[in-house]
Structures are given as structure tokens and as C-alpha cells.
Amino acid sequence: TVTDHTRPLDDEVDRFVLAVRALPAGAWAHFHCEAGLGRTTTFVVLYDMLRNANRVSLEDIVRRQKILSHGYDVLQPDEPGNWKAPYAAERAAFVRAFYEYARANPNGRPQLWSEWLKSAGQ
């Protein structure tokens, strides 16, 4: 369970990576949160990264998910002073780091997110 407006915790990311690893070839994955924007788009971006980061840029992955989510951009900062601004900044930093993880671990293999963080000195 991910709290609205925040990035997922590392153990939640590991569980997500394990779930993606367990999907059979050709399986569909369905994502949804209460509003269908923030958490949904974040996890769709993460899924897209696990599948495609070795051949698609971060910007292109985020851009196509922004189109599919009717304009929600997981890297877009909130207005200064908005109570959500620190959470948006933290989420954007997480998404950028996860992209590097996904490039090094296509389909979430061989390392889990938390293992990669430790090995990368994050």
C-alpha cells in the first residue's frame, strides 16, 4: 500500500519488482489507485522502465505515460509552497533513480531495488 502523493517505500518497490518478475510472458498488468493518476501513473512508469529502460529514454517513458494518463507527469514539481511539493520532489528523485536501476536490471533481474540501492551506495 502506497500513501497518496508519496513515493513507494523500498520494501513496496521490492514487492512490485517480484510481482513483475512472476508475470508469465505476454501477461497483462493492471494498475489503479483511488483517483487513477498519481500512484497509478507512478507504477505504470516503473513497469514500463523494467520492461524498456535499456532501449527507451527516461523522458520518452514519462512522456508516453503522461499522454496515457491525460497529462499527469510523475517528474513535474508542484508549485513552491504547495503542501505536496516535497512529496513530488521526492517522487521525481525516486523515479529517476529507479530508471537507473531498471537499466542495470532489465525486468527486475538480477537485483531487487533494495539490493541495488545497497550495492550502488545509495
Instruction: Give the residue numbers annotated as catalytic, written as ranges.
Output: 33
Rounded-to-integer distance, Cα 120 and Cα 27, Å: 31
Q: Return d(Cα 85, Cα 119) in angstroms, integer.
A: 29
DSSP 74: T
| CB burial of residue 104 (10 Å; 0-12, 13-18, 19+) | middle
- How many CB atoms are closer than 10 A to CB 3? 11
The DSSP symbol for 36 reads S
